């Protein structure tokens, strides 16, 4: 079997005659608060959820805070190099412990100053005589399951899910030659608030139909819609397609493992339910989505760069900055369109829109994932 079965041709072989369900989701799916509540319970509480990159927290005590659905959590680098995820509330009277990102060798609750170590174990109780000694002993912040794939951190409330490497086993061969696990994290933005339902942002990324028309000031000219290529169909937990470069814009390649085919690819990878990665031979742009309300979403994002490119380029810092600027422009372009879809969806029509086959085939697959989870 071909280890890298990315062999579908531009704009094929899925056609309007393939018989796919070409209907978009109903508008209410993006506006109904009851649907968001159900998604938090059946998706964010039940599946692996992507939260960020290990490279953002290199040293023991480095942390960032995030939310899984509604639940506040802490991701912290441990003294042994591992990464741990735990609930971000105090065991006394539930105050949120940490904010934003930083480094803390001890976690001290701002309310009554209970203290925890980096693993979340309760190691200090102020005015201790007021508490039963046996009851405060051995308490630990609630742990979440935590796993890492290609440098991306995933957490889950459930402890019984298959490891993320197993779940994404058929995706791994596509990205392995890029050495994505070694891409160096140079930019991390923990808070980028979008007006729009979280699924709209996800869906915006998993189709290249809009690229030419929306991204006029950024990637549209170099990675046009008509060069989009498709990856495997029918996967239950991810999708991958390529928003490929025009020949005159093929990126410089410093990675000897990449084939000629791969050097022109700009892979767009969707890790259901909320992780997105755009991968190129020299850099990757990633996003994790945190719904704050039915029409407000925080999109933590970052840029990481190929170690081959960083070593091989004459002036890597200029490249790092140039990509950052392009991505900021692309983000503004996407933000405007997602906001427009949210505004349009307020109408509450019962008539679904139409999906393009093949360019929006992964919206259909993602919709099936969401519906499957909501039924479980």
Q: Which residues bind ligand FES (CB under 6 A)?
A: 90, 92-93, 95, 109, 111-114
Nearest approach in angstroms of CB 115 to ligand FES is 9
Q: Between residues 42 and 139, which has the closer beta carbon with respect to ligand FES? A: 139
Quote the tokens at residue 289.
């989505």
Quote the tokens at residue 344.
């349009």
Among candidate residues 47, 12, 86, the one with its CA nearest the CA of residue 289: 47
Among 229, 334, 360, 365, binds Fe ion (CB under 5 A): 334
Q: Which does 103 bind (CB under 5 to 8 A by kind): Fe ion, ligand FES, none?
A: none
User: CB within 8 A of 49, min separation 6: which ones?
Assistant: 68, 69, 154, 155, 156, 273, 274, 275, 288
Contact letters for Fe ion, residues 185-214 (x by CB under 5 A):
------------------------------
Nearest approach in angstroms of CB 85 to ligand FES is 19
Which residues lie across from 268 on neighbouring strands? Answer: 241, 278
If phi over 0 gives left and psi between -120 and 50 gives alpha, with beta otherwise, what is residue 331? Answer: alpha
Alpha-helical segments (H) within the chain: 33-39, 133-136, 164-167, 172-175, 198-205, 211-214, 260-263, 307-312, 316-345, 361-375
DSSP strands (E only) in 8-125: 49-53, 62-68, 71-77, 83-87, 101-103, 107-108, 115-116, 122-124
Nearest approach in angstroms of CB 327 to Fe ion is 10
Q: Between residues 106 and 236, which has the closer beta carbon with respect to ligand FES? A: 106
First-last CA distance in the chain: 33
Cβ-proximal residue to Fe ion, closest one:
334
Q: Which does 374 bind (CB under 5 to 8 A by kind): ligand FES, Fe ion, none?
A: none
Nearest approach in angstroms of CB 241 to Fe ion is 13
Q: What is the DSSP string of 303-357?
A: EEE-HHHHHH-S-HHHHHHHHHHHHHHHHHHHHHHHHHHHHHHTT--SS--B--T
Nearest approach in angstroms of CB 133 to ligand FES is 17
Among candidate residues 272, 358, 374, the one with its CA nearest the CA of residue 20: 358
Among candidate residues 372, 285, 376, the one with its CA nearest the CA of residue 334: 285
Q: Between residues 36 and 287, which has the closer beta carbon with respect to Fe ion? A: 287
Nearest approach in angstroms of CB 207 to Fe ion is 9
Nearest approach in angstroms of CB 290 to ligand FES is 24
Q: Between residues 111 and 213, which has the closer beta carbon with respect to ligand FES? A: 111
Q: Which does 334 bind (CB under 5 to 8 A by kind): Fe ion, ligand FES, none?
A: Fe ion
Q: Between residues 93 and 246, which has the closer beta carbon with respect to ligand FES? A: 93
Q: Which does 83 bind (CB under 5 to 8 A by kind): Fe ion, ligand FES, none?
A: none
Helix axes 198-205, 316-345, angle to 10 degrees: 120
Nearest approach in angstroms of CB 77 to ligand FES is 23
Q: Which does 70 bind (CB under 5 to 8 A by kind): Fe ion, ligand FES, none?
A: none
Q: Between residues 70 and 92, which has the closer beta carbon with respect to ligand FES? A: 92
- Rounded to an integer, what distance in angstroms lies between the CA atom of residue 49 and that of residue 68? 7
Quote the tokens at residue 53.
């990159």
Q: Which does 106 bind (CB under 5 to 8 A by kind): ligand FES, Fe ion, none?
A: none
Q: Between residues 120 and 281, which has the closer beta carbon with respect to ligand FES? A: 120
Given a contact cutoff of 8 angstroms between Cβ atoms, the answer to whether 333 and 205 are in contact is no
Among candidate residues 289, 278, 290, the one with its CA nearest the CA of residue 323: 278
Q: Between residues 98 and 228, which has the closer beta carbon with respect to ligand FES? A: 98
Nearest approach in angstroms of CB 263 to ligand FES is 53
Q: Between residues 63 and 266, which has the closer beta carbon with respect to Fe ion? A: 266
Site of interaction with Fe ion (CB under 5 A): 334
């Amino acid at each position: 079997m071909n280890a890298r079965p990315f062999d579908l041709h531009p704009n094929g072989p899925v056609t309007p005659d393939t018989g796919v369900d070409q209907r978009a989701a109903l508008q209410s799916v993006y506006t109904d608060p009851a649907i968001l509540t159900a998604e938090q319970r059946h998706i964010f509480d039940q599946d692996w959820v992507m939260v960020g990159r290990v490279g953002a927290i290199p040293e023991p005590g480095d942390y960032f805070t995030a939310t899984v659905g509604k639940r506040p959590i802490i991701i912290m680098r441990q003294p042994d190099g591992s990464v741990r995820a735990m609930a971000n509330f105090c065991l006394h009277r539930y105050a949120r412990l940490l904010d934003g990102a930083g480094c803390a060798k001890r976690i001290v609750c701002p309310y009554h100053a209970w203290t925890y170590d980096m693993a979340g174990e309760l190691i200090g109780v102020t005015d201790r005589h007021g508490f039963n000694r046996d009851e405060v002993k051995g308490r630990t912040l609630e742990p979440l399951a935590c796993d890492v794939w290609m440098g991306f951190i995933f957490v889950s409330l459930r402890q019984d899910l298959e490891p993320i490497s197993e779940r994404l086993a058929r995706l791994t061969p596509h990205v392995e030659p890029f050495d994505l696990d070694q891409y160096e994290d140079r930019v991390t933005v923990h808070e980028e608030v979008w007006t729009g339902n979280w699924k709209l942002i996800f869906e915006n990324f998993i189709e290249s139909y809009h690229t030419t028309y929306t991204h006029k000031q950024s990637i549209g000219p170099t990675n046009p819609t008509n060069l989009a290529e498709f990856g495997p169909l029918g996967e239950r937990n991810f999708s991958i397609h390529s928003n490929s470069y025009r020949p005159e814009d093929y990126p410089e390649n410093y990675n000897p493992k990449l084939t000629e085919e791969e050097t022109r690819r700009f892979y767009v990878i969707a890790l259901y339910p909320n992780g997105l990665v755009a991968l190129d031979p020299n850099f990757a742009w990633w996003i994790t989505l945190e719904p704050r309300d039915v029409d407000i979403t925080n999109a933590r994002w970052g840029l990481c760069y190929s170690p081959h490119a960083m070593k091989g380029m004459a002036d890597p810092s200029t490249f790092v900055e140039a990509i950052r600027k392009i991505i900021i422009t692309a983000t503004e372009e996407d933000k405007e369109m997602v906001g427009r879809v949210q505004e349009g969806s307020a109408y509450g029509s019962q008539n679904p829109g139409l999906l393009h086959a093949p360019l929006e085939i992964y919206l259909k697959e993602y919709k099936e994932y969401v519906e499957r989870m909501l039924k479980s």
